[in-house]
């Protein structure tokens, strides 16, 4: 018959072992001893048992309460988790026989006995029978009442998401350092940190961050590691203001300071210094590392502020020359006062067609215009037209269904400055880019009214619709 047993080698004491018969078989009975590690502290955690590396097992035959001979006296290695296994063959002749089992957990480097357990087990030649457990207790340095103290460091560290360090654990008695004392690490804030058996502390990505804690306990003493996990500060959105700019080649209107507002995934503002500025047409408009745009030659340029892959915003810069007649009128189609904007399917979209005359001689006024507006009908559905500040346009409605609007207006006196010609209302009906475009034909009816075509500059722009 063969008997199997398991002995729990409790780090902090306890009676956590078990053994039972496994049924009849040929040959001599065998006593299987399987030490295990348990953690009866702080409700569980990561056990550091690097002090324990060998288990000595001594089995005697016991007769009338006295040991009469050694059945086996051997040692077996213990793995990093404190586990070991050993099968001890014993001879049972006739009636049940009793054996005394002594266990010693040993630190090999100096032979120190750290754990000890003793018990007697009876092997009856009968049916499978559960036997009592073998009590095991920690008797090594810093046992209960030894007055040892545990200290963890470094305290009050701040970690960014993904950052890590190795925690230091110091154990002493009356100021004298003691090595190899088993300890239990308990992660009190698992939503903020990971705790490894190598004492490594790693900060997790958290939108809010916060105070993290790791408790370290020995028998009779404990200390808590304090650290702070920084919130997830990766940029999630960039927004440039203003949403567009019109410049001239001459001072004082030849420069504009742009600003980038950067926020993380939780909407928390981040430093504007995270933005990288670039111009796609630097000869037209050059941009500095701080967002200062300086005009170059007449034309249009797209300026981009980027805070990471896919995290960027753009705007259109239009530069004109008002020193050479007839100057450069600017045509812009703006949505929400921006060159480029985003929307969702189902949302209303308002696009304003604007003429900016800041780069034409002051004597020239806009008095009459014809315009043609086109767009991507798979993305935008035309709804209605409203008058701007210039005059009520005459709409040709039969072209609207085909994705084309033609309208015209006349002002006999003419007007200067920045003029909103018309408000166009759409509904976003599908994902994609609007690809809207405004083209002009003008009719000058007096000497002061502007013919836009010779110097007209049309600014790029788009509405990007998401699902």
Residue with tokens 């020239």: 364
Reply yes or no on whether the pLDDT at 129 is more than 50: no
Residue 465 and residue 329 share a domain: yes
- The residue among 295, 321, 347 that closes a domain is 321
Residue 332 and residue 315 share a domain: no
pTM of the predicted structure, to 2 decimals: 0.57
Main-chain phi, psi angles of 129, to 5 degrees: -140, 130
What is the domain count for the chain? Answer: 4
The residues, ordered by sequence, that sit 6+ positions from 357 with a Cβ below 8 Å of its Cβ are 327, 329, 330, 364, 365, 366, 416, 417, 418, 419, 450
Residue 302 and residue 267 share a domain: yes
pLDDT-based confidence at 76, cuts 50/70/90?
Answer: confident
What are 363's two structure tokens?
């004597």
pLDDT-based confidence at 81, cuts 50/70/90?
Answer: low
Q: CATH number, domain at 7? A: 2.60.40
- Tell me if 206 sits within 8 A of 231, measured CB to CB: yes
Residue 462 and residue 330 share a domain: yes
Q: CATH number, domain at 225? A: 2.60.40.1080
350 versus 178: the higher-pLDDT residue is 350
Residue 384 and residue 341 share a domain: yes
Structural domain contains residue 52: yes
pLDDT-based confidence at 172, cuts 50/70/90?
Answer: very high
pLDDT recorded at residue 307: 92
CA 232 to chain centre: 6
Select, from the ranges 13-27, 79-93, 381-395, 449-463, the one with the highest average predicted confidence (pLDDT). 449-463
Residue 329 and residue 295 share a domain: no
Q: CATH number, domain at 421? A: 2.60.40.680
- The residue among 205, 229, 253 that closes a domain is 229
How far apart, in whole angstroms, are the C-alpha atoms of residue 373 and residue 196?
63
pLDDT-based confidence at 37, cuts 50/70/90?
Answer: very low
Looking at the chain, the whole-number percentage of residues with pLDDT higher than 70 is: 82
pLDDT recorded at residue 78: 74
281 versus 96: the higher-pLDDT residue is 281
Residue with tokens 């009908």: 377
Looking at the chain, the whole-number percentage of residues with pLDDT higher than 90 is: 45
Is omega for the bond preceding 154 within 30 degrees of 0, making it cis? yes
pLDDT recorded at residue 93: 65
Residue 422 and residue 375 share a domain: yes
Any idea what the Cα angle at residue 356 is, between residues 350 and 361, rounded to 5°? 170
pLDDT recorded at residue 103: 84
Reply yes or no on whether the pLDDT at 170 is more than 90: yes
What are 435's two structure tokens?
């690809």
Residue 273 and residue 194 share a domain: no
Tell me: the pLDDT tens digits for 340-366?
Answer: 999 999 999 999 999 999 999 888 899
Reply yes or no on whether the pLDDT at 324 is more than 60: yes
Residue 458 and residue 379 share a domain: yes
The residues, ordered by sequence, that sit 6+ positions from 254 with a Cβ below 8 Å of its Cβ are 247, 248, 294, 295
Structural domain contains residue 362: yes
Residue 114 and residue 9 share a domain: yes
Residue 276 and residue 364 share a domain: no
- The residue among 175, 207, 229 that closes a domain is 229
Reply yes or no on whether the pLDDT at 268 is more than 80: yes
What are 38's two structure tokens?
């348990």
Residue 400 and residue 311 share a domain: no
Alpha-carbon distances, residue 121 vs 71, 266, 458 (angstroms)? 13, 63, 96
Q: CATH number, domain at 265? A: 2.60.40.10
Is the C-alpha dihedral spanning 264, 270, 272, 274 positive or negative?
negative
Structural domain contains residue 143: no
Quote the domain boundaries for residue 249.
233-321
Q: What share of the chain is helix, strand, coil (3-state, %, to 5)?
A: 5, 55, 40
Structural domain contains residue 30: yes
pLDDT recorded at residue 261: 96
pLDDT recorded at residue 125: 65
7 versus 270: the higher-pLDDT residue is 270
pLDDT-based confidence at 77, cuts 50/70/90?
Answer: confident
Reply yes or no on whether the pLDDT at 221 is more than 80: yes
- Tell me if 313 sits within 8 A of 260, measured CB to CB: yes
Alpha-carbon distances, residue 131 vs 9, 17, 122, 446 (angstroms)? 17, 10, 8, 115
């Amino acid at each position: 018959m063969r008997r199997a047993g398991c002995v729990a080698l409790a780090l902090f004491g306890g009676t956590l072992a078990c053994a039972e018969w496994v049924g009849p078989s040929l040959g001599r009975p065998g006593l299987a001893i399987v030490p295990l590690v348990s953690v009866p502290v702080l409700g569980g955690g990561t056990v550091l048992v690097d002090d324990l590396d060998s288990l000595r097992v001594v089995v005697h035959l016991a007769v009338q309460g006295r040991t009469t001979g050694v059945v086996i006296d051997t040692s077996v290695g213990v793995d990093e988790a404190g586990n070991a296994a050993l099968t001890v063959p014993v001879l049972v002749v006739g009636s049940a026989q009793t054996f005394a089992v002594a266990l010693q957990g040993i630190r090999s480097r100096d032979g120190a006995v750290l754990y000890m357990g003793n018990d007697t087990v009876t092997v009856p030649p009968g049916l499978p029978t559960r036997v009592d457990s073998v009590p095991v207790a920690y008797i090594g340095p810093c046992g209960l009442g030894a007055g040892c103290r545990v200290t963890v460091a470094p305290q009050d560290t701040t970690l960014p998401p993904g950052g890590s360090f190795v925690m230091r654990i110091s154990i002493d008695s009356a100021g004298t350092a003691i090595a190899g004392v088993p300890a239990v690490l308990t992660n009190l804030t698992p939503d903020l940190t990971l705790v490894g058996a190598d004492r490594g502390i790693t900060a997790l990505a958290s939108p809010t961050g916060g105070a993290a804690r790791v408790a370290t306990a020995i028998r009779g003493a404990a200390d808590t590691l304090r650290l702070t996990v920084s919130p997830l500060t990766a940029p999630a959105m960039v927004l440039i203001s203003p949403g567009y700019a019109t410049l001239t080649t001459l001072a004082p209107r030849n420069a504009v300071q742009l600003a980038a507002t950067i926020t993380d995934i939780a909407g928390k503002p981040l430093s504007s210094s995270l933005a990288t500025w670039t111009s796609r047409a630097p000869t037209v408009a050059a941009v500095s590392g701080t967002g200062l745009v300086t005009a170059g030659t007449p034309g249009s340029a797209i300026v981009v502020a980027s805070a990471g892959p896919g995290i960027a915003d753009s705007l259109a810069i239009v530069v004109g020359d008002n020193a050479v007649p007839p100057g450069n009128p600017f045509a812009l189609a703006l949505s929400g006062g921006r060159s480029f904007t985003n929307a969702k399917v189902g949302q209303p979209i308002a696009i304003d067609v604007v003429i900016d005359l800041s780069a034409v001689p002051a004597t020239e006024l806009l008095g009459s215009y014809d315009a043609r507006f086109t767009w991507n009908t798979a993305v935008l559905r035309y709804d209605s037209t409203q008058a701007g500040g210039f005059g009520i346009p005459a709409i040709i409605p039969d072209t609207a269904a085909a994705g084309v609007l033609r309208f015209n207006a006349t002002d006999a006196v003419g007007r200067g400055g920045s003029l909103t010609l018309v408000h166009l209302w759409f509904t976003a009906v599908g994902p994609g880019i609007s690809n809207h475009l405004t083209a002009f034909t003008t009719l000058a009816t007096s000497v002061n009214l502007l013919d836009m075509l010779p110097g007209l500059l049309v600014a790029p722009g788009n509405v990007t619709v998401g699902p």
